[in-house]
Copies of this chain bind each other. A is one copy, B any other.
Amino acid sequence: MLSIWPITGIGEVARGADLGELIAAAVAGAGGRDAGPATAGTRQLPGREHPIAVAQDAAADSPPGGWMLRDGDVVVIASKVVSKAEGRVVAAVDREQAITDETVRVVATRAHGAGLTRIVENRLGLVMAAAGVDASNTPAGTVLLLPVDPDASARGIRARLRELTGARVGVIIADTSGRAWRQGVTDMAIGAAGVTVLDDLRGGVDREGRVLSATVVAVADELAGASELVRGKACGVPVAVIRGAASWTTHHDGGGARAIVRPAADDMFRLGSDEAYRRGYEAGRAAAERDPVAGQ
């Protein structure tokens, strides 16, 4: 069974904040809710000498093993708070210029009301609308850029959580993105440490004994999306814990979420259809003009 719950009480994250510590403290606060077998029906709150009586339901509704972090838990963190802790709030008179600055390669653009939707590849190799630049949840006149190296951020937070809680957890940094052919956004993993981001089942067998040929599951993206369901977009809960996914956590940090980015050579959608068509059109016209006979 998979259990997923939000970590509340983290509050506003300032530049320079120790996210690992904030998370550990918020988890410890929630841990006050734990009612183990010895204290069923009561609850030991921090700062109180004696446990208080609680309804039986409270214990029944806690995740298996209680609220405290355990080995094999996966902690999913919204990239937004990682960016804030890392001081990635930058002054930007013009959000469009900030997007341009973050853009490595333009994939597709389209007029959208008064503005322009820009699907671009950013420094992290991620193909995203607006390069992942975020102008919500930041003071006016500023925008929030993605972490410089979300895999490194994940490694740092993982090490800090180990230090503070003793638990060897997996850490995922999640961000929100649209998809090519589907409406609506979902969360994906842009950083990871201690998590098997791609579960390669190739070479395994199905129920009929046939070898699975092309099944690599993007587990980290599914974990990120699952966590979004309890973190939510509007409720401002930046962290969730997933219990029951320990088989995808690893002893070492591993290569991180960068591995999920499809290499250019395998990318059949490097350019939007209109953009590719226009490039082809220009090339075709130029070829015909250079060599009208061969063009026939």
B295 and A204 form a contact (CB under 8 A): no
Which residues on the B side are within 8 Å of A284 (C-beta)?
280-288
Which residues on the B side are within 8 Å of A15 (C-beta)?
none
Is A279 an interface residue when CB atoms closer than 8 A count as contact?
yes
Contact partner of A270 among B37, B273, B292, CB < 8 A? B273
Interchain nearest-CB distance for A241 vs B (Å): 10
Interchain nearest-CB distance for A221 vs B (Å): 5
B180 and A180 form a contact (CB under 8 A): yes
A222 and B228 form a contact (CB under 8 A): yes
Interface residues of A in 224-282 (CB under 8 A from B): 225-226, 228-230, 233-234, 236, 244-245, 259-262, 266-282
Copies of this chain assembled into the complex: 2
Which residues on the B side are within 8 Å of A127 (C-beta)?
180-181
Interface residues of A in 189-210 (CB under 8 A from B): 197-199, 201, 204-208, 210
Please tell me the size bucket of the interface on A.
Answer: 35 or more
Which residues on the B side are within 8 Å of A285 (C-beta)?
284-285, 287-288, 295
Is A223 an interface residue when CB atoms closer than 8 A count as contact?
yes
Is A82 an interface residue when CB atoms closer than 8 A count as contact?
no
Give the distance in Å from the alpha carbon of A179 to the alpha carbon of B180 in the complex: 8
B229 and A183 form a contact (CB under 8 A): no
Interface residues of A in 15-65 (CB under 8 A from B): 37, 56-57, 60-61, 63-65
Which residues on the B side are within 8 Å of A223 (C-beta)?
229
Q: Looking across the interface, which residue of chain B has its beta carbon closest to that of A257?
A: B182
Contact partner of A261 among B182, B226, B259, CB < 8 A? B182
Is A133 an interface residue when CB atoms closer than 8 A count as contact?
no
Is A108 an interface residue when CB atoms closer than 8 A count as contact?
yes
Stretch at the interface among A2-10, A86-94, A151-159, A161-169: A2-10
B269 and A273 form a contact (CB under 8 A): yes
Q: A56-B37, A127-B180, A261-B183 are in contact. Are A207 and B137 (CB under 8 A)?
A: yes
Q: Looking across the interface, which residue of chain B has its beta carbon closest to that of A200?
A: B184
B183 and A198 form a contact (CB under 8 A): yes
Mark A residues whose CB is within 8 Å of B.
1-5, 37, 56-57, 60-61, 63-65, 108, 110, 119, 126-127, 136-139, 176, 179-188, 197-199, 201, 204-208, 210, 212-213, 215-219, 221-223, 225-226, 228-230, 233-234, 236, 244-245, 259-262, 266-289, 292, 295-296
Interchain Cβ contacts under 8 Å between A and B, 24 examples: A1-B5, A2-B5, A61-B64, A108-B268, A126-B181, A136-B213, A179-B179, A179-B180, A181-B267, A182-B218, A183-B259, A183-B262, A184-B260, A185-B216, A185-B217, A219-B229, A225-B226, A268-B272, A273-B273, A277-B277, A280-B284, A281-B281, A284-B286, A292-B292
